[in-house]
Amino acid sequence: NHMGIGVFCRRYGFLDKPSRVRFRLLSPNVRLLPVEADQDITLTQAAFASLVVPISKVFITENEINFLAFPPVCDAIVIFGAGYGWDALARSHWLNKCSIHYWGDIDTHGFGILNQLRGYFGHVDSFLMDRATLDAHTTVWGQEDKPLLADLHRLTFDESNLYDYLRDNRIRAGLRLEQEHIGFHWLSNRLEQLLE
């Protein structure tokens, strides 16, 4: 009789393993750990929700390399994303007071995850998920095996256009650009524009 770990925990009265949020403080002037420590921190959902930290900008990325290499930004954190599944962030109401920038893959599922995240935080902006970024990285285009076909109703006009181009194979069949292939200089330049 197969049952998931959550069902098992409830049936036998055990506590579920709490959801966790992993983030890095990007701001040189804000620290939660001693100065010499890496500010790569994992907290339970409840602890993250109760966090009091002078932050106004939040970046979310799905790729660990991007998460670890994200450059310093004043008053900001970067969160290691969860793919489809934002319950761990949903109760962190302090995020409503921050600008949130979601950086996913430029593929149909990247836009699907962005669309879902906006169901929790309607003010999320996409970051590096645009046609100019796609066109600047043609040499590292990849293949998406099982594209999403659903209509997505929380995308902006430009995001929706690009999603349709990808979903309908108007550029190339199954086209995707994984976020870890985006050049560091491209990232740095976009960050400068964003923070001006």
pLDDT of 5 strictly over 80: no
Average pLDDT over residues 3-32: 75
Give the position of tokens 């890095």: 24
CB 163 within 8 A of CB 112: no
Average model confidence (pLDDT) for the chain?
91
pLDDT of 1 strictly over 60: no
196/159: higher pLDDT: 159
Average pLDDT over residues 2-30: 74
pLDDT of 111 strictly over 70: yes
Of the given ranges (26-35, 45-54, 106-115), which has the lowest mean pLDDT? 26-35
pTM for this structure?
0.89
Alpha carbon separation from 48 to 1, 95, 168 (Å, rounded): 36, 10, 39
CB 123 within 8 A of CB 100: yes
Average pLDDT over residues 53-77: 94
- Four-residue CA torsion sign, 82, 155, 121, 189: positive
pLDDT of 98 strictly over 90: yes
